């Protein structure tokens, strides 16, 4: 498990981002390098002015799912951005924005939360992924 775990984040709803943050934190806690590649609506959720907002849930969550998420948040569950921040403090977590999605959303790196370390294209993504696993979320 020395190869990095490469998570391509596409979805920008809070439930999928929370799932991604937990997978990141768990891998980081085991000393495994994690490389996040932010695309589309996931990238949009990392905008500095929006990262703390409600980004909705997958449509299938329904009212009962929404309620469950709210109850857990009220009980003090860390939001996904906070879970990621803690994972980064453990070290070995690199967060990169996809350059094509930056163009799509007309963003500059200064528009993004400091959790994001840089911007890279898909070729750079593959080169740093090496033989490590790729997971699309």
**Least distance from C-beta 14 to a copy of itself, angstroms?**
10
Contact call for residue 106 and a copy of itself (CB under 8 A): yes
Tell me the C-alpha distance between 53 and 68, whole Å: 18
32 vs 114, beta carbon nearer a copy of itself? 32
Q: What are phi and psi of 130, to 5 degrees?
A: 55, -135
Residues with Cβ within 8 Å of residue 111, at least 6 apart in sequence: 47, 48, 49
109 C-beta neighbours (distance < 10 Å), count: 12
Q: How many helices (H) and strands (E) does the chain have?
A: 6, 5
**Least distance from C-beta 136 to a copy of itself, angstroms?**
5
Tell me the C-alpha distance between 132 and 59, whole Å: 31
Pattern 63-102, a copy of itself, x by CB under 8 A: --x--xx--x---------------------------x--
Q: What is the contact surface with a copy of itself in residues (CB under 8 A)?
A: 1, 5, 8, 10-13, 15-16, 19, 22-23, 25-27, 29-30, 32, 39-41, 44, 55-56, 58-61, 65, 68-69, 72, 100, 103-106, 121-123, 125-127, 130-131, 133-137
């Amino acid at each position: 498990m020395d190869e990095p775990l490469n998570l391509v984040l596409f979805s920008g709803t809070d439930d999928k981002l929370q799932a991604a943050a937990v997978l990141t934190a768990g891998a980081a806690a085991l000393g495994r390098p994690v490389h996040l590649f932010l695309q589309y609506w996931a990238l949009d959720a990392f905008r500095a002015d929006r990262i703390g907002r409600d980004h909705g849930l997958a449509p299938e969550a329904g009212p009962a799912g929404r309620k469950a998420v709210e109850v857990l948040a009220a009980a003090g569950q860390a939001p996904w951005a906070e879970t990621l921040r803690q994972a980064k403090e453990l070290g070995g977590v690199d967060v990169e924005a996809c350059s094509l999605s930056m163009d799509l959303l007309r963003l500059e790196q200064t528009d993004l939360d400091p959790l994001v370390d840089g911007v890279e294209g898909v070729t750079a993504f593959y080169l740093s992924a090496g033989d490590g696993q790729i997971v699309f979320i």
